[in-house]
Amino acid sequence: MPYEPPTHTVERSLRATTGAKIVAGVDEVGRGAWAGPVTVCAAVTGLRRAPEGLTDSKLITPKRRTALAADLERWVTAYALGDASPQEIDELGMTAALRLAAVRALEGLPVRPDAVILDGKHDYLGGPWQVRTVIKGDQSCIAVAAASVIAKVRRDTVMAQLCTDAEVYAAYAFDANAGYPSPVHKAALQELGPTPHHRLSWSYLDAMPRWRHLKKVRLSAEAVALESGGQLGFDF
C-alpha cells in the first residue's frame, strides 16, 4: 500500500509562528516491549529533500530500514539518541522514562533546538521545551520519520547483540522480536524467567505464577503522580 511521503509542513509552520530556527523531530521505540530500553531519537534535518522511501519505520522492511538508517545518519544535520533502561522504567514508570530518554537525546544534540516535533498525541516532554505534538508524525513529518528509522534500527541492533553476547539469551530470540512479546519470547519467559533486561514492574508477570515473586512495585511518588495524571494513558 503506497503512503504519502513525509513533508516539512509542520516544521515550516513552527518556524513561521514561533520564530524557531532549529527544529528537532523526536520519536521513540520500545515503549511496548517487555525487555530492553525505551530508545528516543532526536533528529534535525533542516528543510532539505528527504531520501527516497522515508516514512514511519514500522512501514519499512527490516532490510530496507537498515540501509535507510545508514543513509539518514549521513544525511541529517544532526541526531542523537537517548535511552531509559528497564530498571529506570521500573522505577519511574513509562511516562517519566520516556521524558528521561527524550531529554538525553535532545541534550545530546550539538545545538539546542528551538522547538520539538513530538510524535503522538501526548506531550510527555513538557517544559522548558517548546513542543508540537503530531499524531502519526512519523509518517507525515520528515524529521520525525528520520528519528523513527534511526531509533528503530539502533534499538533492534542493541537487542540482537544481547543474543550474541550471552548464549543464554538466545532462547528469548531478542534478535527476532527486539524484546516484544512474541510466542518464542513468552515461552522462554515461562520456562526460564525474566532476565536483567526485562521490565519487572509490568503486568505480564502476573500471569506467570512461577516468577510472580520477582515483580517490582514502583516506589517513585513523582512517577506515580505523572502516571495517574493521565498524561499518556498507557495501559500495559
Give the pLDDT mean for 176-186: 97
User: By the 8 A CB rule, do 89 and 181 touch?
Assistant: no
- The confidence band for 168, taking pLDDT boundaries of 50, 70 and 90, is confident
Q: Which pLDDT belongs to residue 217?
A: 84
Is the pLDDT score of 201 beyond 90?
Answer: yes
**In this structure, what C-alpha cell is assigned to residue 198?**
526485562
**In this structure, what C-alpha cell is assigned to residue 215?**
515483580
- The confidence band for 231, taking pLDDT boundaries of 50, 70 and 90, is very low
Q: What is the mean pLDDT of the chain?
A: 90
Tens-place pLDDT, residues 110-123: 999 999 999 999 99
Q: Which pLDDT belongs to residue 235?
A: 29
Tens-place pLDDT, residues 5-30: 999 999 999 999 999 999 999 999 99
Q: Which pLDDT belongs to residue 229?
A: 41
3-state secondary structure of 84: strand
Instruction: Please count the helices (runs of H) and the strands (runs of E) in the chain.
Output: 9, 5
Q: Which pLDDT belongs to residue 115?
A: 97
Cα gap 93→201, rounded to integer Å: 9
Q: Of 18-27, 36-45, 146-155, 222-231, which range is least confident? A: 222-231
Strands 78-84 and 38-44, bridge-based pairing: antiparallel
| pTM for this model (two decimals) | 0.89
- The confidence band for 166, taking pLDDT boundaries of 50, 70 and 90, is confident
Q: Which pLDDT belongs to residue 220?
A: 52
